[in-house]
Amino acid sequence: MKKFIFFDSKSKRGFRFWMTRMGLAISLVLVAYAVFFSVESAYLVSEKMTGRIWSVPSRVYASSRVLFPGLRYSKEDLIGELEWVGYVQSREAVPGFGEWKKDGPYLLIGIRSFSTSSQDLEARKVRIEFSGNHIERIWQRDGDQWKIVHTLSLEPELIGEIFRDEREQRTLIRLDEAPKTLKEAIILMEDRGFYDHWGVSLRGIGRALLANFQGRGIRQGGSTLTQQLMKNFFLTHERTLQRKAREAIMAIVAEILFTKDQIFEAYLNEIYLGQQGPVGIHGFGEAARFYFSKELKQLSLGEQAMLVGLISSPGRYSPYRSLESATERRNLVLSVLYKGEKIQEKDFEIAKREALHPRGKIRILRKAPHFIAYLQKELEKRYEKDFLESSGFQILTTLDMEFQRAAEASVEEVLPKLDERSKKRVTGERKLEVALISVDPHSGAVKAYVGGRDFSNSQFDRVHRAQRQPGSSIKPIVAAIAMSNETRLGEPVAHPATVLSDQPAEFSYSGRDWSPKNYGDVYTGQITLRGALEKSQNVAFVNLASQIGLKELQKGFYHFGFQDVPEFPSIALGAFGVTPFELARVYTAFPNGGLQTECYAISGVLSEKKERKEQTSMAVRKVTSAQIAYVVTQLMKGVVERGTARKIQGMLKGQDFAGKTGTSDDYRDSWFVGYSANLLTVVWLGYDDDTPMGLTGASGALEVWANFYQRILERLPREAFAEPKGVEWRKIDPEKGCLKRGLFGFEEVFIQGTEVPPCR
Partner 1 sequence: MSIKSFLPVFLFFGFFVSTGCVKRVVTEPAPEFSFEDARVERSNPRYVASLNLVEDALKEMKLQRLGRAASQLSQAIEIDPSNPYAYFYLAEVRKRSKRYQESIELYRRAEDRFAANSQWSAECFAEIGDVYRLQNQNLEAEEAYRDALELNPRNHRAIEGLAGLPANP
Q: Which of 11, 20, 50, 119 binds partner 1 (CB under 8 A)?
A: 119
The nearer residue to partner 1, 151 or 503, going by C-beta atoms, is 151
- Which of 395, 474, 465 minimizes the C-alpha distance to 437? 465
Q: Does residue 715 interact with partner 1 by CB under 8 A? A: no
Tell me the sheet residues that pair with 170. Answer: 282
Q: Does residue 626 interact with partner 1 by CB under 8 A? A: yes
> Considering the complex, what minimum distance in angstroms separates the CB of residue 514 from partner 1?
39
Instruction: Map the footprint of partner 1 across residues 121-150, applying CB under 8 A.
Output: 150
Q: Pattern of binders to partner 1 over 151-190, x per CB under 8 A?
A: x---------------------------------------
Q: Does residue 612 interact with partner 1 by CB under 8 A? A: yes
The nearer residue to partner 1, 55 or 63, going by C-beta atoms, is 63
Instruction: Map the footprint of partner 1 across residues 724-743, applying CB under 8 A.
Output: 724-725
The nearer residue to partner 1, 445 or 532, going by C-beta atoms, is 445
Q: Does residue 647 interact with partner 1 by CB under 8 A? A: no
Q: Which of 178, 266, 539, 595 binds partner 1 (CB under 8 A)?
A: 595
- Which of 475, 483, 426 minimizes the C-alpha distance to 644? 475
From the candidates 90, 472, 484, 670, which is the catalytic residue? 472
> Considering the complex, what minimum distance in angstroms separates the CB of residue 445 from partner 1?
6
The nearer residue to partner 1, 402 or 534, going by C-beta atoms, is 402
d(CA 391, CA 52): 9
d(CA 480, CA 533): 12
d(CA 443, CA 276): 37
Q: Does residue 214 interact with partner 1 by CB under 8 A? A: no
Cβ(657)–Cβ(472) below 8 Å: no
> Considering the complex, what minimum distance in angstroms separates the CB of residue 620 from partner 1?
6
Active site residue 472: yes
> Considering the complex, what minimum distance in angstroms separates the CB of residue 172 from partner 1?
24
d(CA 394, CA 383): 13
Angle between helices 401-423 and 75-85 (to 10 degrees): 90
d(CA 140, CA 429): 57
Cβ(693)–Cβ(685) below 8 Å: yes
Q: Does residue 629 interact with partner 1 by CB under 8 A? A: no
Tell me the sheet residues that pair with 103. Answer: 106
The nearer residue to partner 1, 484 or 528, going by C-beta atoms, is 484
Q: Does residue 116 interact with partner 1 by CB under 8 A? A: yes
* CA dihedral sign, ordered 591, 592, 596, 599: negative
d(CA 725, CA 196): 80
List, in order, residues 6 or more apart from 35 with CB less than 8 Å away: none
Q: Does residue 117 interact with partner 1 by CB under 8 A? A: yes
Cβ(390)–Cβ(55) below 8 Å: yes
Applying CB under 8 A, the site for partner 1 has a residue count of: 36
Residue 321 parent element (H or E): none
The nearer residue to partner 1, 570 or 597, going by C-beta atoms, is 597
Q: Which of 15, 43, 68, 729 binds partner 1 (CB under 8 A)?
A: 68
- CB under 8 A: which stretch of 61-69, 289-297, 328-336, 692-700 binds partner 1? 61-69
> Considering the complex, what minimum distance in angstroms separates the CB of residue 373 from partner 1?
25
- ∠ CA(465), CA(440), CA(119), 5° rounding? 105
List, in order, residues 6 or more apart from 150 with CB less than 8 Å away: 68, 69, 138
> Considering the complex, what minimum distance in angstroms separates the CB of residue 287 from partner 1?
32
The nearer residue to partner 1, 302 or 593, going by C-beta atoms, is 593
Angle between helices 180-190 and 301-310 (to 10 degrees): 30
- Which of 552, 575, 578, 550 minimizes the C-alpha distance to 563? 578
The nearer residue to partner 1, 424 or 725, going by C-beta atoms, is 725
Q: Does residue 226 interact with partner 1 by CB under 8 A? A: no
Q: Which of 298, 397, 603, 664 binds partner 1 (CB under 8 A)?
A: 603
Q: Exposure of 507 by Cβ count < 10 A (0-12 exposed, 13-18 middle, 19+ buried)?
A: middle
User: What type of residue is 288?
Assistant: A
User: What type of residue is 717?
Assistant: P
Q: Does residue 118 interact with partner 1 by CB under 8 A? A: yes
Q: Does residue 445 interact with partner 1 by CB under 8 A? A: yes
d(CA 370, CA 134): 33
Q: Does residue 678 interact with partner 1 by CB under 8 A? A: yes
d(CA 375, CA 598): 16
Q: Does residue 28 interact with partner 1 by CB under 8 A? A: no
- Which of 685, 642, 683, 635 minimizes the C-alpha distance to 658? 635
b/e 451-470 (16+ beta carbons within 10 angstroms → b) = bbbebeeeebbbbbebebbb
Cβ(293)–Cβ(281) below 8 Å: no
b/e 144-154 (16+ beta carbons within 10 angstroms → b) = eeeeebeebbb
What backbone torsions phi and psi does residue 236 show, to the nearest 5 degrees? -85, 175
d(CA 363, CA 83): 11
From the candidates 155, 157, 161, 190, which is the catalytic residue? 190
The nearer residue to partner 1, 69 or 561, going by C-beta atoms, is 69
Cβ(497)–Cβ(696) below 8 Å: no
- CB under 8 A: which stretch of 26-34, 67-75, 639-647, 729-737 binds partner 1? 67-75
The nearer residue to partner 1, 375 or 439, going by C-beta atoms, is 439
Q: Which of 45, 56, 71, 82 binds partner 1 (CB under 8 A)?
A: 71
Q: Exposure of 213 by Cβ count < 10 A (0-12 exposed, 13-18 middle, 19+ buried)?
A: exposed
- CB under 8 A: which stretch of 25-33, 386-394, 527-535, 617-625 binds partner 1? 617-625
- CB under 8 A: which stretch of 85-93, 356-364, 613-621, 647-655 binds partner 1? 613-621
> Considering the complex, what minimum distance in angstroms separates the CB of residue 534 from partner 1?
27
> Considering the complex, what minimum distance in angstroms separates the CB of residue 266 from partner 1?
34
> Considering the complex, what minimum distance in angstroms separates the CB of residue 444 from partner 1?
8
> Considering the complex, what minimum distance in angstroms separates the CB of residue 717 from partner 1?
6
Q: Does residue 331 interact with partner 1 by CB under 8 A? A: no
Q: Does residue 663 interact with partner 1 by CB under 8 A? A: no
> Considering the complex, what minimum distance in angstroms separates the CB of residue 624 from partner 1?
12
Q: Does residue 604 interact with partner 1 by CB under 8 A? A: yes
- ∠ CA(710), CA(712), CA(718), 5° rounding? 95
Q: Which of 203, 321, 385, 622 binds partner 1 (CB under 8 A)?
A: 622
Q: Does residue 677 interact with partner 1 by CB under 8 A? A: yes
Q: Provide the 3-class DSSP secondary structure of residue 410.
A: helix
Q: Which of 30, 31, 34, 66 binds partner 1 (CB under 8 A)?
A: 66
> Considering the complex, what minimum distance in angstroms separates the CB of residue 378 from partner 1?
18
The nearer residue to partner 1, 405 or 621, going by C-beta atoms, is 621
What backbone torsions phi and psi does residue 731 show, to the nearest 5 degrees? -85, 130
Q: Provide the strand spans (E) within 349-506.
A: 394-397, 433-439, 446-450, 499-502
Q: Does residue 70 interact with partner 1 by CB under 8 A? A: yes
Q: Exposure of 731 by Cβ count < 10 A (0-12 exposed, 13-18 middle, 19+ buried)?
A: middle
Q: Does residue 299 interact with partner 1 by CB under 8 A? A: no
> Considering the complex, what minimum distance in angstroms separates the CB of residue 721 from partner 1?
11
Which positions are annotated as active-site residues?
190, 472
Q: Which residues make up the interface to partner 1 (CB under 8 A)?
A: 66, 68-71, 116-119, 150-151, 440, 442-443, 445, 592-593, 595, 603-604, 612, 615-622, 626, 677-678, 717, 722, 724-725
